[in-house]
Amino acid sequence: MEWAKKVQVKKAGYVLWGRQYETLNDIAKAFGLNTGSMRARIAAGKTLVMTVSEMLEKDTILFRGREYAGISSLASAYGHDGALISDRLTYGMTLERALSQPIRQMDRPEFAIEYDGKMYASKRQLSREIGISTGCIHEMMVNNDLDFGTAVDILLETKDRIGIPREEMISGIPVCIIGGRTYRTVQEVACAFQLSANAIASYKNRNGYTGMLETLCV
């Protein structure tokens, strides 16, 4: 009887976004995430969906032998918007398919837009040419109650000031750039250097440092 129960549990495994997995390690491998971190969060009481969603957003993702700082960074590297890739994953696509499948042209109108004296066929075309994802622009607009043009102005100026080439796609404003790699959040920095975000913040505040790079260099 006990043997039958164990077989049934093993067969059940885990279901995430409509796909069946035998173990947490299988899920971690499928999304390029760290198994230990996934187990720890689930053990702390988080659901599987919440855990994977949070890790995809904030943690390092290993894909095709390279590391990316979250799904937005990975999506940008393949010319996609992070929100689109996240949606595809929740619909049951594998990470490989979500990143490789071309974007279908939707049967909805795309309106031309003028920016800085130049006409663009759509906001998406403008987004691609200036190297700032539409998700990043939308986030700037919503969080700061700005119109589209003003949000683009601020993001382009910020991008220039921190030395990111115009042709390089970004999906968010980084907290710092170390060794040519951009980090959007303190959590990403902590993960890359195997530190805890709380430890970095405490050290920074305790010593009166003003920037993340200054804190890590000391």
Residue 194's identity, in one-letter code, is Q
Tokens (6 digits) for 158? 């910020």
pLDDT interval class at 6 (50, 70, 90): very low
The confidence score (pLDDT) of residue 162 equals: 79
State how far the Cα of 90 lies from the Cα of 162, in Å rounded to an integer: 34
Tokens (6 digits) for 70? 């979250």
State how far the Cα of 111 lies from the Cα of 85, in Å rounded to an integer: 23
Tokens (6 digits) for 149? 């043009």
Cβ partners under 8 Å of residue 30, min gap 6: 21, 94, 95
Phi-psi region of 13 (alpha: psi -120 to 50; beta: other; left: phi over 0): left
Could you tell me if 198 and 186 are in contact, meaning their C-beta atoms sit under 8 angstroms apart? no
Q: Which of 207, 202, 200, 148 is nearest to 175 (CA)?
A: 200
State how far the Cα of 191 lies from the Cα of 176, in Å rounded to an integer: 14
**DSSP assigned state of 101:** S
pLDDT by residue (tens digit) across 88-109? 888 788 999 999 887 654 444 5
pLDDT by residue (tens digit) across 21-51? 999 999 999 999 999 999 999 999 888 988 9
CA 185 to chain centre: 10
pLDDT by residue (tens digit) across 117-172? 999 988 888 888 888 887 778 777 767 777 888 889 988 988 888 788 877 777 77
pTM: 0.47
Identify the H or E element spanning 114. strand 113-115
Question: Which stretch, 10-19, 71-80, 157-166, has highest mean pLDDT?
Answer: 71-80
